[in-house]
Amino acid sequence: MPYELYYWPEIQGRGEFVRLALEEAGVEYVDVCRQPDGKGGGTAAMLRILQDETVARPPFAPPFLKTGDRLIAQTANILAFIGAHHDLAPSDEGGRLRANELQLTIADFLVEIHDTHHPIGSGFYYEDQREEARRRTADFLKQRAPKYLGYFERVLERNPDGKEHLVGAGLSYPDLSLFQIVAGLRYAFPRAMARLEKQHPRIVALHQKVAERPRIAAYLASERRIPFNEFGIFRHYKELDAKR
């Protein structure tokens, strides 16, 4: 049976980290909410599970992955499962824990990226918090983004198994996730990233290496890859990426 991925159909968001892993693994999966309502898809299919009072272990929010009778929620948790079952994580316990640690740090980074355009709350429109977003983004680009990127640059440099991957000697799911972070930041803050990337050559090299992998390249060129837009986590507002 193919995996069933449940996530919002209009955005990349957190679901994209799972999509990238499934695509690289070459496993069959259904992006349920992007399927027609008449064939059991659509957002309604996801909401039925979230609202079903008979589900013993309900997810808090999407994304979640259904495999057989099992529901797996939380992005890092889903990726740990895919990594262990599809050769996208180290085989030893220490390596798997390290991969999960890196993914959780990426999750922290993602929250801060989101909060650049929604610093007060997700329930408000961006236009309702524009000035606060300017202040938050200025601090993010000056302090927080360099801190996170600098950390991952050091992780690559110090990996005892080689400097091309974050953990272990081969590709793992944190590599795919860092690829997505770079792609998203390039979309949201092209000016800032043009400056920041000069200081993080190993991250840039990893992004390029992932983009050139056959399955990932095919996915990026396909209609399965939802374009970045101003409804997801990575959003481009010119005034937030203005030259300072």
Residue-range domain boundaries for the chain: 3-85, 93-223
96 Cβ contact partners less than 8 Å away, ≥ 6 residues apart: 80, 83, 84, 89, 90
* CATH code of domain 93-223: 1.20.1050.10
Give the burial string for 207-223 (b: 16+ CB within 10 Å, else e).
Answer: beebeebeebeebbeee
Look up residue 56 and give its two tokens. Answer: 């013993």
pTM of the complete model: 0.96
Whether 206 and 101 have beta carbons less than 8 Å apart is answered as: no
- Look at the chain and count its residues: 244
Question: pLDDT tens digit string along 129-166?
Answer: 999 999 999 999 999 999 999 999 999 999 999 889 99
Is 3.40.30.10 the CATH classification of the domain at 3-85?
yes
Question: pLDDT tens digit string along 180-224?
Answer: 999 999 999 999 999 999 999 999 999 999 999 999 999 999 999
